[in-house]
Amino acid sequence: MTIPTEPIGSIPRSPRLVEALKTADGADPKLEPLYEEAIRETIAQFEATGSPVITDGEQRKYHNFWTYCVHGLPNIAPDGFKIPFKAGHTRRMHRLTSGPFRYKRYADQYLDVAKRHARVAVKQAVISPSALSLMYPAEGIPAYSREAFIDDLLREHETEIRRCLQKGAHKVQIDFTEGRLAIKLDPTGNLLNSFIDLNNLALARFSAEDRQRIGVHTCPGGDRDSTHSADVDYAELLPSLFELKAGNFYVALAIEADRPRVLKIIRDHLKPDQRVFVGVIATIDPRIETPEEVRDRILEAAEYIPLAQLGTTDDCGFAPFCDDTSTTRETAFAKIRARVAGTALAAQSLGAR
């Protein structure tokens, strides 16, 4: 038997690329050779781990996984929504200053380049409508209502996913790291419910067949070996998460203190047509897991999740923000090798039962 295993997305950028981005805008054409080199090297090293599904490591998503599609627009300002991390630093979203809302770029352009170099399946991560909805200011925008903004946002998100599916993405993964954070910001659950409703408006535009190639990733954030919402009880998020109309869910689990409790919640809310990829690699922990540790985490998950609905993944991307150098590329690929090997060991153990 086999157990499907996939990464989340980002790999620490190459040192040369990180240095170049300190003094140049990410869209500077002079960076093209560095991007091409970083993508080619990342894909080669990714494939060498044995991972059956890879990404481009998000080498081209300058700045971060959140704002890649809007960076460089003329109608945004840098003083948008702020996320505080446990380590003491913050990250900021852009603020929309006028309408209409349009993407500057779609993620299928990253997929185009990755598929040119890759010999195995490639997945593509995209940002959620709920995250981008935070760009609209609370005070509103003259002559551009929030309703008009949401219409534009949903259309752009749908367009991006369709372009990725049409170009052969193995999966399209919607990054929903703000889900757990929503509970921290609003313990009543109203903000989370609004996020779920908004994302479902987008997902409802796709067929049941398409949704089997669409997934949602949730984690407590991961940046500079820190999180923004690990102190929020998963029980406040997971029942709502599985109401999303997606076929796949990527759930950070390796760093949870009480994994069996979380697995029971997943078991109780997972729908028959959904697969859950449980996190078996702690991306913010510098220690490299052994394949045997990974195997044991999967065997634990298999006690609660039907094998036909179980997969494995990493808790998060290894560097969702391009300037994060807290994890080396060597460590990231070593951890991925452990995931792949541990998943194979678990499949052997489960197949022998």
Q: How many distinct structural domains can be found in the chain?
A: 1
- pLDDT tens for residues 112-170? 999 999 999 999 999 999 999 999 999 999 999 999 999 999 999 999 999 999 999 99
Residues 6+ apart with CB under 8 A from 193: 240
Whether residue 8 lies inside any domain: the answer is: no
Whether residue 3 lies inside any domain: the answer is: no
Whether residue 77 lies inside any domain: the answer is: yes
Element (H, E) at 178: helix 178-185
Whether residue 192 lies inside any domain: the answer is: yes
Whether residue 127 lies inside any domain: the answer is: yes
Whether residue 228 lies inside any domain: the answer is: yes
- pLDDT tens for residues 183-239? 988 999 999 999 999 999 999 999 999 999 999 999 877 666 666 766 778 999 999
Residue 236's domain comprises 15-351
Whether residue 9 lies inside any domain: the answer is: no
Query: Within 13 A of 262's CA, how many CA atoms are on the CB side?
Result: 22
Secondary structure (DSSP) of 200-257: HHHHTTS-HHHHTTEEEEE-S--BTTB-SSTTS-GGGTHHHHTTSS-SEEEE--TT-S
- pLDDT tens for residues 237-257? 999 999 999 999 999 999 999
| pLDDT above 90 as % of the chain | 75
- What pLDDT is attached to residue 260? 97
Whether residue 6 lies inside any domain: the answer is: no
| Segment 302-321 mean pLDDT | 94
CATH of the domain at 286: 3.20.20.210
| pLDDT above 70 as % of the chain | 96
The answer on pLDDT for 66 being more than 90 is no
